[in-house]
Amino acid sequence: MTEQPDTFPRLLLHQAKVRPDRPAFREKDLGIWQTWSWAQVADEVRSLACGLAEQGFRRGDRLAVIGDNRPRLYWAMMAAQALGGVPVPLYQDAVAAEMVFVLQDADVGFAVVEDQEQVDKLLEVLPQCPRLKRICFDDPRGLRHYTHPELMSLDGLQETGRQVAGREFFAGEIEKGRPSDIAVILYTSGTTGNPKGVSQTHAAMIQTARVLVAFDGFAEDDDILCYLPMAWVGDFLYSYAQVHIAGFCLNCPESPATVMTDLREIGPTYYFGPPRVYENILTQVMIRIEDASWLKRRMFHAFMGVAKRVGMKVLEGKSGVSLKDRLLYGLGELLVYGPLKNVLGMSRIRVAYTGGEAIGPDLFDFYRSIGINLKQLYGMTETCVTVCMHPSGDVKLETVGRPMPGVEVRIADSGEVLVRSPGVMKEYYKQPDATREAIDAEGFFHTGDAGYFDADGHLKIIDRAKDVGKLADGTLFAPKYIENKLKFFPYIKEAVCFGHGRGKVCVFVNFDMEAVANWAEKRNLPYTGYTDLAAQPAVYELVRECVEKVNRDLAADAALGNSQIHRFLILQKELDADDGELTRTRKVRRRHIAEKYAVLVDALYSDKTSCFIETQMRFEDGRTGTVSADLRIMEAKTYSVAAAREAA
């Protein structure tokens, strides 16, 4: 076997040589999909790299990349790597103040950003980041009159790059790269404390991506739509790294608002989304079906019934499906599933993944039953994701699959999941203490998740290890497990459970505005907005039904039966990342919420039936306002554990 390229820049040159004319990148611009072949991309990257070098970018320098998924931003990452530098992608929707930490921590000297919005943010924090000396922008719109000496257009940068005869220089710089060099620093969203910079080497990313490409058999004719934030490890691994290995095409949406249309036009063969994306799509479908004509609605529900019964067996190629059901399913494919998948842009999907959070049973079954090979995976930034995945044909809803080739998974005595693999990070950037804490002497990374292997060898994750607590009577309390059960109801968007060290479990609820608003309209309930709906008795009843169903479920579980929900309230505002209540990836920041709403928590554990609260909230334009409300607290029915087990 010939030697395989072992750094990203070498892979780029390799692809440009092996398949120069195959499409590598597409982007919709002015209504038309523009395509760049691998040879063209190599060319663009060379001019960017030479331009950056002209501007003083040296080996080991960090390049911040901020913006929506644009081809040139990806190329800038390639250019930085070609020069032996390290790209540091940032979340594009973060406010300026949040960017300061990363810019300072990573000693960023150069930034490549998408547009005026990002330029404004960086200029705002420039005084706090003295090292930042050059900001290059992709879209010049609105920037004509900016006179800051730090600013430069990417067009200009590439122009200077083209003028120098850079072919040898470019090849020479790539030659100097080593697989053990840092390929990228990805900042973790930081459920607690400041974000940490996860340093991943070329070797770790490339080895992991090779395993992934082999696992699902990706080839050059595959297509992916990259719409998730570039700062997230998933985008780096699934889009950037896999494209380098398999040579398939990375498609960039026209704008974040057009993703659904773009999805349909591109028809990717490979798709990744966190559960909430799948959930949003399903909610949209359901709302539209409810508004469709009588005939269409009847047809949809009838064939979804067939799909529910036999769809998953057909997908997994299992026997035991009668000829009649096969014919019915075929007819359904023709009349319902096929057109539906077409509308969703999922006609060509071979594999779709979800991960990061638990996925609801209805959601998971819906996609699989209409023939979309949706699978789960488990992993984190520190392990290049890729710890466990569902192999095709061996999929179980409540697990995250089997350990991947080359990955060792061990369960500690405390129940924590430990991982050793080629994809485990080199270090937390500039934080040796944190690194030592996370990776033990044997090289196992401590994930912080609690889980266990089931009888089939599939890993099941229940919660964060540190969040798993005990009620006052010693019953196991897994808050996320309960919250997820609540969130599987379409009406409930977020939930925050309390109970560690207390006598009973109580919960805050955020309902799903879209679903509940629709529900309210159907019942002719007048309302003005979220806060108003949150105070309505009918909405409380709706949520109470959901809570009681969860209690019935929990009662059947031997270990968690006593952690049923006794009291709940509906928060008067939606939890928001801008108010620090969620992380940028929309995970609940439990402790922060418990502190911020301490009054409400106390009220839940008293015998009060209502509680007054006033909170600050931040609007999208940065101004703040206050929302105040008198919140009701409601009791929920709990079930006897013994009776439930007898019934089951």
Q: Which stretch binds another protein (CB under 8 A): 29-37, 63-71, 181-189, 484-492?
A: 29-37
Q: Which is nearer to another protein, 144 or 523 (CB)?
A: 144
The answer to whether residues 374 and 384 touch, using CB atoms and an 8 Å cutoff, is no
Task: State yes or no: residue 258 binds another protein (CB under 8 A).
Answer: yes
Cα 616 to Cα 600: distance, rounded to the nearest angstrom: 15
Q: Could you tell me which residues come within 8 angstroms of residue 524 by beta carbon, excluding any fewer than 6 positions away? A: none
Q: Name the minimum Å distance from CB 621 to another protein.
A: 7
Per CB under 8 A, does 30 bind another protein?
yes
Q: How many CA atoms lie within 13 A of 138 on its CB side?
A: 18
What the block records as the tokens of 439 is 């990776």
**Do the Cβ atoms of 237 and 385 come closer than 8 Å?**
yes
Which tokens belong to 344? Answer: 């969703």
The least CB distance from residue 31 to another protein, in Å, is: 4
The 3-state DSSP class for residue 325 equals helix
Give, as ranges, the residues between 614 and 643 that touch another protein (CB under 8 A): 621
Query: How many other C-beta atoms are found inside a 10 Å radius of the C-beta of residue 76?
Result: 31
Measured CA distances, 226 to 264, 584, 626 (Å): 13, 18, 37
CB nearer another protein, residue 160 or residue 261: 261
Beta carbon nearer to another protein, 261 or 392: 261
Choices 62-70, 138-146, 201-209, 441-449 (CB under 8 A): range interacting with another protein: 138-146
Interface with another protein: number of residues (CB under 8 A): 14
Q: Which is closer to another protein, CB of 144 or CB of 522?
A: 144
Whether 506 and 566 have beta carbons less than 8 Å apart is answered as: yes
Mask 463-482, x = binds another protein (CB under 8 A)? Answer: --------------------
Identify residue 477 by its one-letter amino acid code: F
Shortest Å distance, C-beta 244 to another protein: 29
CB of 32 to another protein, least distance (A): 8
Say how many CA atoms lie within 13 Å of 113 toward its Cβ.
Answer: 25
- The window from 15-23, 70-78, 141-149, 215-223 that contacts another protein (CB under 8 A) reads 141-149
- Which range in 122-130, 250-258, 508-516, 627-635 contacts another protein by CB under 8 A? 250-258
- Nearer Cβ to another protein (147/524): 147
Region of 461 (left: φ > 0; alpha: ψ -120 to 50; beta: rest) is beta
According to the binding rule CB under 8 A, does residue 222 interact with another protein? no
Residue closer to another protein (CB basis): 149 or 317:
149
Cα distance between residue 574 and residue 511, in whole Å: 8
Spatial separation of the C-alpha atoms in residues 538 and 566, rounded to whole Å: 19
**Nearest partner of 361 among 284, 275, 459, 455, judged by Cα:** 275
Q: How far apart are CA 277 and CA 275, in angstroms?
A: 5
**x/- map, 391-430, another protein, by CB under 8 A:** ----------------------------------------
Determine if 529 is a binding residue for another protein (CB under 8 A).
no
State which residue, 141 or 523, has the beta carbon closest to another protein: 141
Give 257 or 648: the residue with its C-beta nearer to another protein: 257
Residue type, 346: M
Instruction: For the CB of residue 258, give the shortest distance to another protein in the complex, in Å.
Output: 5
Options 25-33, 181-189, 340-348, 498-506: segment touching another protein (CB under 8 A): 25-33
Query: 160, 261, 280, 284: which one contacts another protein (CB under 8 A)?
Result: 261
Specify the residue, 148 or 591, whose C-beta has the smaller distance to another protein: 148
CB-wise, 235 or 254, nearer to another protein? 254
The yes or no reply on residue 145 touching another protein (CB under 8 A) is: yes
Q: Give the separation between CA 412 and CA 473, rounded to whole angstroms.
A: 25
Q: Are 490 and 283 in contact (CB under 8 A)?
A: yes
DSSP-derived letter for residue 439 is: B
- Give yes or no for a contact between 352 and 272, defined as CB atoms under 8 angstroms apart: yes
Among 34, 163, 255, 640, binds another protein (CB under 8 A): 255
Closest to another protein by CB, 254 or 467: 254
**Separation of alpha carbons 387 and 419, rounded Å:** 7
Question: Least distance (Å) from another protein to the CB of residue 419?
Answer: 40
Cα 490 from Cα 362, distance rounded (Å): 10
* Residue 255 beta carbon to another protein: minimum distance, rounded to whole angstroms: 5
Nearest Cα to 303, choosing from 331, 279, 281? 331
Q: Please give the residues from 223 up to 242 whose contact with another protein meets the rule CB under 8 A.
A: none
Q: By CB under 8 A, name the binding residues for another protein.
A: 29-32, 141-142, 144-145, 254-255, 257-258, 261, 621
